[in-house]
Amino acid sequence: MIRDDIKAALIVAMKAKDAARVGAIRLIQAAIKNRDIEARTGGAPADDDVLVMEVLGKMTKQRRESIAMFESGGRMELAAVESAELAVIESFLPKQMSDDEAKAAIGAIVAETGAASVKEMGVVMALVKVRLAGQFDMGKASGLVKAALS
């Protein structure tokens, strides 16, 4: 489980006295804890790794936006801090698919569902979200699905 990997990485970072990595991992744990608290009111998540990947994905998106804003504002030292946090967060995510791999996977899903038009995009996207969660940006995936169905 990703959650166990995060706990183990925190221990290793603490032993190595890597303050930057310890701080980033603690941020990750805090975000996961907040998501756990939010999930108490709803149903229990079907898969813990999906919940953790969702949190990590949101954190990576936030860091990328922050990096872009800091760089455009000329604050390179803050952008470097965010980049370091981003590297730690991404180390816990599964390997990201390339665009070509994603096109192939989406093509296989389209063939499997038998979808022939953009009207059936919802069916294809539902399967894409389940199968490619955490491995590919869903914002890009919708464009690839549209292209495959056009």
pLDDT, average across residues 55-67? 91
pLDDT confidence bin for 148, thresholds 50/70/90? confident
What topology is assigned to 2-90 in CATH?
Hypothetical Protein Yqey; Chain: A; domain1 (1.10.1510)
- As annotated, the residues of the chain forming the CATH 1.10.1510.10 domain(s) are 2-90
- As annotated, the residues of the chain forming the CATH 1.10.10 domain(s) are 99-149
Q: CATH says 99-149 is which class?
A: mainly alpha
- What's the pLDDT score for residue 129? 82
Cα–Cα distance, 89 to 87 (Å, whole number): 6
Flag whether the pTM goes above 0.85: no
pLDDT, average across residues 67-83? 95
- What's the pLDDT score for residue 46? 62
- pLDDT by residue (tens digit) across 4-19? 999 999 999 999 999 9
With CA atoms as reference, report the closest residue to 113 among 74, 80, 75, 149.
Answer: 149
Q: Which residues contact 52 (CB under 8 A, 6 or more apart)?
A: 1, 2, 3, 6, 32, 92
pLDDT, average across residues 120-143? 81
Dihedral angle computed from the Cα positions of residues 130, 50, 85 and 59, in that order, rounded to the nearest 10 degrees = 70
- pLDDT by residue (tens digit) across 19-54? 999 999 999 999 999 988 888 776 655 667 778 888
Cα–Cα distance, 19 to 31 (Å, whole number): 18
- What's the pLDDT score for residue 76? 95
- What's the pLDDT score for residue 102? 84
